């Protein structure tokens, strides 16, 4: 049984992963921004799983969540930074300031906030796998998603640098989940998103793949095998 921390656990990929990990007998400790969705997870999962309302872009909120989670459950075996947002499709110069800032605040600074408050405990136990969700747009680019591309390219570099700093026994992996039919994809692809696997289908391959990651993968860009 593993302790698995997931950010953005209330919807999309995070929610699907949480379900698969629970089915496999692991303890899921997650967060999300919407109180109603967090409460729904609490009711559906029950103890020993635990979910809290946290905006990862708020360092103080992350600090409180990490402190309580570590006190109640101990260091995680897997730390999965999944929480992310995207801006509306637009050329770079037309992306509103607040939208661009929110993408960077959640997708980059939010990941750093979570790492800042969980990694020391993982390092002290000398084991653990950090999975920072990247994107195909973290290794390539496309028009009208420049802010999102910038955030995910940042995750690739940040994770690879972090991997060089970790003590033996730990790993940090930038993970491209692939193209999945989620609310975020529909914001970009609209109805064309329906041609891709659902988060439910994707998670059945992704969850076991993530749990096979380890020190051998430290600093390596990985991709979830394509769902059938």
d(CA 40, CA 135): 28
Beta bridge partners of 172: 130
Question: Which ranges of 166-198 does DSSP label H, i.e. alpha helix?
Answer: 183-189
Token pair 């989940």 in the structure block, residue: 177
Tokens of 20: 């698969």
Domain ranges in the chain are 3-223
pLDDT of residue 227: 60
Report the topology of domain 3-223.
Rossmann fold (3.40.50)
Residues classed as catalytic = 148
Question: Which ranges of the chain does DSSP label H, i.e. alpha helix?
Answer: 12-23, 35-45, 59-73, 97-104, 110-125, 146-165, 183-189, 199-211
d(CA 78, CA 188): 30
Q: What is the pLDDT along the chain (228 residues), one digit of tens a residue?
A: 999 999 999 999 999 999 999 999 999 999 999 999 999 999 999 999 999 999 999 999 999 999 999 999 999 999 999 999 999 999 999 999 999 999 999 999 999 999 999 999 999 999 999 999 999 989 999 999 999 999 999 999 999 999 999 999 999 999 999 877 666 656 666 667 567 678 889 999 999 999 999 999 999 999 999 865
Collapsing DSSP states into helix, strand and coil, what is residue 81?
Answer: strand
d(CA 188, CA 88): 7
Write the burial class of residue 54 (CB in 10 Å: 0-12 exposed, 13-18 middle, 19+ buried): buried
For the chain, give percent helix, strand, coil, nearest 5: 55, 15, 30
d(CA 104, CA 150): 8
């Amino acid at each position: 049984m593993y302790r698995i921390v997931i950010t953005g656990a209330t919807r999309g990929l995070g929610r699907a992963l949480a379900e698969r990990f629970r089915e496999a007998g692991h303890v899921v400790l997650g967060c999300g921004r919407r109180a109603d969705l967090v409460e729904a997870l609490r009711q559906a999962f029950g103890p020993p799983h635990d979910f809290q309302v946290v905006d990862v872009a708020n360092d103080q909120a992350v600090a409180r969540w990490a402190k309580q989670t570590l006190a109640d459950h101990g260091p995680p075996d897997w730390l999965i930074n999944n929480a992310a947002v995207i801006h509306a499709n637009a050329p770079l110069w037309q992306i509103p300031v607040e939208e661009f800032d929110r993408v960077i605040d959640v997708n980059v600074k939010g990941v750093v906030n979570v790492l800042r408050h969980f990694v020391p405990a993982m390092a002290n136990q000398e084991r653990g796998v950090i999975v920072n969700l990247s994107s195909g747009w973290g290794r390539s680019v496309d028009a009208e998603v420049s802010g999102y591309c910038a955030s995910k390219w940042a995750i690739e570099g940040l994770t690879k640098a972090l991997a060089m700093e970790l003590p033996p026994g730990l790993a940090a992996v930038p993970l491209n989940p692939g193209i999945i039919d989620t609310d975020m994809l529909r914001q970009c692809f609209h109805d064309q998103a329906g041609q891709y696997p659902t988060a439910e289908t994707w998670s059945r391959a992704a969850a076991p793949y993530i749990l096979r990651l380890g020190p051998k993968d430290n600093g390596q860009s990985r991709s979830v095998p394509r769902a059938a």
